[in-house]
């Protein structure tokens, strides 16, 4: 996901989610509900910053550091210590030229992720399917990935599809009345009932039963990002059931994740970004209109980030990523990765 945001088209001031008709791991399926992919509104790739976003530099030292953090969090008889699990922001962005706040007569490039509560671009199947596969695929059998989002991002998912299947949806809200929590839990129970009915139909038809170690569908509601991570650690991590942790938007939640200080319990912070540019074949690039932007304008050593190599990104997401641009209609996309420096 590049400095480019991805995933789906339902109104939200912070992020957009859209239905994806592909199985996150095996291709086309008949039931779209289990494969809906929320797409956070994120920023896109800036051609003028290609040296930062389009070129991956492998850092052996940082790779070893990440591995060491995982090793230190593991003992012979205990599961992985959740606080060491990487926090991965997944987003799609596009380069936008805007007036510089400091010098209005000059322009600067920002990474756009949304327009009027929705994505700036039409449906991009390549990015949507990537999001669905990556967030649904657990690192090991018996674990389930978590997707952290704001309440508006959650609400932008069609009601019949939420919470998203085979993931732990973590909804952050300032609501103190309990109405948001109650609504999410009611939808969770309805979702589970539908899934149970489907499983019963499959069993009656002689279809193979669902594997016992398949990812679960669950949801929790918390008042803050700190509380979200703490509850994930205590409820799922302590028993070894927590897979990867993703942040899928909106802009405010992205910002909080990028600013977070983990103190004595270091946690790698990564960004999986889809760079999006509109460039008709044989023509010039046509910028999208955006009013919502990724919190950072650049992601390089000057502001505490490094580019990940295609090999590292492949390891992070669980499938091969080459870093090459891919064309879909008049749009070109590129998946890249970044990791925050200590």
CATH number, domain of 258, equals 3.40.430.10
Residue 142 phi, psi dihedral angles, 5° rounding: 90, 0
Quick check: is 284 in a domain?
A: yes
Q: Which two tokens stand for residue 165?
A: 């299947």
DSSP 35-59: G-EEE-B--B--GGGHHHHT-----
Q: Which of 116, 341, 148, 336 is nearest to 229 (CA)?
A: 148
Q: Across the chain, what does the average pLDDT equal?
A: 80
The mean pLDDT value for 26-30 works out to: 37
Q: Does pLDDT of 283 surpass 90?
A: no
Is 2 inside a domain boundary?
Answer: no
pLDDT given at position 247: 98
Q: Report yes or no on 6 lying in a domain.
A: no
* Cα gap 194→271, rounded to integer Å: 34
Report the DSSP pairing between strands 144-150 and 168-172: parallel
Using DSSP, state whether 313 is helix, strand or coil: helix
Number of domains the chain is built from:
1
- Which residues, 6+ apart, have CB-to-CB distance to 9 below 8 Å? 16, 17, 18, 39, 118, 119, 123
Are 255 and 223 in contact by the 8 Å Cβ rule? The answer is no
For the residues 166-170, what does the mean pLDDT come to? 98
| Residue at 171 is within a domain | yes
Residue 214 lies in a domain: yes
Judge whether residue 65 has pLDDT over 70.
Answer: no
CA neighbor of 119 nearest in space, from 31, 10, 195 = 10
Q: Say which residue the tokens 């939200």 belong to.
A: 12
> In which domain, by residue range, is 180 found?
16-340
* pLDDT value, residue 264: 65
Residue 332 maps to a domain:
yes
Residues 147, 169 contacting (CB under 8 angstroms): yes
Q: pTM of the prediction?
A: 0.75
For the record, the structure tokens of 74 come out as 């593991």
Which of 55-64, 253-262, 318-327 holds the top average pLDDT? 318-327
Per-residue CA distances from 89 to 242, 270, 286, 305 (Å): 17, 6, 27, 14
Tell me: the pLDDT tens digits for 118-136?
A: 789 988 999 999 999 999 9
Tokens standing for residue 82: 């959740």
Q: Is the pLDDT of residue 17 over 70?
A: no
- Determine contact, residues 12/155, Cβ cutoff 8 Å: yes
């Amino acid at each position: 996901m590049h400095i480019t945001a991805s995933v789906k088209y339902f109104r939200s001031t912070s992020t957009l989610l859209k239905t994806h008709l592909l199985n996150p791991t095996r291709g086309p399926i008949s039931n779209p509900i289990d494969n809906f992919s929320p797409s956070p509104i994120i920023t896109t790739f800036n051609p003028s910053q290609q040296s930062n976003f389009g070129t991956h530099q492998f850092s052996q030292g940082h790779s070893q550091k990440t591995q060491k953090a995982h090793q230190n969090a593991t003992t012979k008889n205990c599961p992985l210590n959740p606080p060491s699990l990487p926090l991965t922001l997944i987003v799609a962005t596009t380069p936008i030229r805007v007036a510089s706040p400091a010098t209005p007569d000059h322009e600067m490039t920002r990474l756009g992720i949304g327009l009027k509560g929705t994505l700036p671009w039409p449906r991009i199947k390549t990015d949507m399917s990537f999001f669905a596969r990556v967030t649904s695929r657990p690192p090991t059998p018996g674990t389930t990935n978590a997707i952290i989002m704001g309440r508006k991002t959650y609400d932008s998912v069609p009601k019949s599809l939420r919470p998203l299947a085979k993931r732990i949806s973590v909804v952050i809200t300032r609501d103190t009345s309990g109405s948001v929590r109650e609504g999410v839990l009611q939808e969770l129970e309805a979702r589970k009932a539908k899934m149970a009915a489907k499983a019963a139909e499959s069993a009656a038809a002689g279809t193979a039963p669902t594997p016992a170690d398949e990812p679960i569908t669950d949801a929790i509601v918390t008042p803050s990002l700190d509380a979200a991570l703490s509850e994930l650690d205590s409820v799922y991590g302590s028993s070894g059931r927590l897979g990867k942790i993703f942040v899928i938007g909106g802009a405010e939640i992205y910002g909080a994740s990028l600013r977070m200080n983990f103190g004595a319990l270091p946690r790698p912070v990564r960004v999986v970004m889809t760079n999006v540019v509109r460039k008709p074949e044989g023509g010039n690039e046509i910028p999208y209109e955006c009013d919502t932007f990724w919190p950072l304008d650049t992601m390089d050593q000057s502001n505490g980030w490094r580019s990940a190599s295609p090999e590292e990104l492949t390891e992070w997401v669980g499938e091969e990523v080459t870093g090459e641009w891919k064309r879909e209609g008049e749009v070109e996309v590129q998946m890249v990765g970044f990791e925050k420096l200590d």
